[in-house]
Amino acid sequence: MIQLESYLIISAIVFVLGIFTILYKKNAVGILMGVELILNSVNLNFIAFARYIDTYINGQLVAIFIIILAASEAAVALAIILNMYRDRRSVDVTKMDEMKN
């Protein structure tokens, strides 16, 4: 049987990948992808813990909840990005510095 730690390690790697994607991508869509990565790593964690520790299915429930949330979040975020692109003909987040100073 596969150990719990393996899941956690995989989840951590995906999480860190997500973080770095958010930090280094200039493309807004890329950042959205990073966010999805983070959410999915968290999902993985929830399910793993649910399988190994919890006798109930709370973890699975939360994971499903997160998947729905991620879907709606992606829809909203993509709509924002689309409008942003329409406005400026670009989706480069480094140029979005109107709040500077």
Partner 1 sequence: MIKLALFIWLLPLAAFVINILIGKRLPRKGDWLSVGAIGISFILSLIMLYRVLVDYDPNFLVQGSVPWIDLGVLKLNMGLYLDNLAVIIVTAVSTVSFLVHVYSIGYMEGDPLYNRFFAYLSLFSFSMLGLVMWDNLFGIYMMWELVGICSYLLIGFYFTKDSAANAGKKAFIVNRVGDFGFLIGLLIVISTVGSFNLTTIHQAVGQGVLHGGLLTAAGILLFAGAVGKSAQFPLHVWLPDAMEGPTPVSALIHAATMVAAGVYLMARLNFMLTFDAMLVVAYVGGFTSLFAATIAITQNDIKRVLAYSTISQLGYMIMAMGVGAYVAGFFHLVTHAMFKAGLFLGSGSVIHAMHHSMEKTGIHGDPNDMRQMGGFRKKMPYTHITFVIFSLALSGIPFFSGFLSKDAILGGTLAFAMSQSNPIHYLLPTFGFVAAIITAFYMFRLIINTFYGKPKNESLFKHIHESPKVMTIPLMALAFLSLYFIYTIPSISPAGPEGGWFTHLIERPISAVATQLGHPVLFIPEHTEHAAHVNGMLISIIFALTGILLAYLFYYWKKIDVEKFTQRIKPLYALSFNKYYMDELYQATVVSGLLLWNQMLAWFDLHVIDGIVNGSAWVVRNFSFMDGWIDKYIVDGLVNLVANMTLAFGKSVRKIETGQIQNYILGAVLGAFFIIILTMI
Q: Which is nearer to partner 1, 25 or 51 (CB)?
A: 25
Choices 6-14, 21-29, 55-63, 68-76; region in contact with partner 1 by CB under 8 A: 21-29
Provide, rounded to whole angstroms, the least separation between the CB of residue 7 and partner 1.
Answer: 20
Query: In one letter, which amino acid is 72?
Result: S
Does 99 engage in binding with partner 1 (CB under 8 A)? yes
> Which position among 10, 17, 19, 66 is part of the footprint of partner 1 (CB under 8 A)?
19
Q: To which residue do tokens 């100073």 refer?
A: 101
- Please say whether the beta carbons of 23 and 89 come within 8 A: no
Q: How far is CA 100 from CA 43, 94, 96, in A?
A: 35, 11, 9
Q: Does 8 bind partner 1 (CB under 8 A)?
A: no
Tokens of 9: 């390690």
